[in-house]
Amino acid sequence: DSNFVLSFWVPFAAYVSMEDKRAKSSNDFIGLNYYSHYYVNMFNLLTNQIMEEKLLAKPREIMTDMPHPSYPEGIYYALMTLSKLKIPIIVTENGISDKYDDRRKMYIRRYIYAMSKAIKDGANVVGYYYWSLMDNFEWIEGDHQCFG
């Protein structure tokens, strides 16, 4: 049985690599919390002290109220990457903060479509939990975000 090796690199910010011979067969499923993506440019990476200011959205992306860009393609890529583990996948968190409810329907449709495409392409997705049915308290944002 081959080893499980996880590694990723964020240029000039982090390199993470982990290998565990037991990990591949130790989980019943893997959970994915997926909301969005960001990109990093060298200027922001080197000049901003606050991590959130180092992360950028692409121009003209649809933003949530958090603010995070809506990027359903990313959940497809994440699911296809996780499918290499050959264990069931549960999307344990995915949703949008949308005070006026003018983007929620589009967000859910696009993310569910991307997830269904991943399933058709071989990802073993066995569950999906939308975040959230109702509004809640966010540690950083307080009770100002509208999820439900």
Instruction: Provide the 10 A C-beta neighbour count for residue 123.
Output: 21
Q: Is the pTM of this model over 0.85?
A: no
Average pLDDT over residues 105-119: 97
Q: Is 124 left (phi over 0), alpha (psi -120 to 50) or beta?
A: beta
Q: How many CB atoms lie within 10 A of CB 49?
A: 6
Three-point CA angle 126, 120, 62, nearest 5°: 85
pLDDT digits (tens, 9 = 90+) for 98-109: 889 999 999 999
Instruction: For the chain, give the percent of residues with pLDDT over 70.
Output: 80
Exposed (0-12), middle (13-18) or buried (19+): which is 105, by Cβ within 10 Å?
Answer: exposed
Q: Is 17 helix (H, G, I), strand (E, B) or coil?
A: strand
User: Hunting for tokens 């000049």 — which residue is that?
Assistant: 47
Per-residue pLDDT tens digits for 56-76: 788 888 988 887 899 999 999
DSSP bridge pairs for 128 = 91
